Amino acid sequence: SIVENIMMGIMYDIPSIHQVKQVIVGRECVLEGKQPEVIRGA
């Protein structure tokens, strides 16, 4: 599915990234194949 293809890489990367607050899957991710934006916070 579309969502699985978009999230496949990032869902494995998130545990190794410290202090992830939010992951934004924008229009560019769906239409252009760009990576989701990772927002870090305390």
Banded pLDDT at 25 (limits 50, 70, 90): very high
CA-based nearest residue to 25, from 10, 41, 42:
10
> What is the distance, to the nearest Å, from the Cα of residue 18 to the centroid of all Cα atoms in its chain?
14
Output the pLDDT for position 1. Answer: 81
Q: Which residue has the tokens 């699985």?
A: 4
Banded pLDDT at 38 (limits 50, 70, 90): very high
Phi, psi of 30 (to 5 degrees): -75, -50
CA angle 36, 41, 32 (to 5 degrees): 10
Single-letter code of the amino acid located at 21: K
Q: Which domain holds residue 16?
A: 2-40
Mean pLDDT for the chain?
Answer: 91
Q: What's the domain count of the chain?
A: 1
Q: Above 90 in pLDDT, residue 42?
A: no
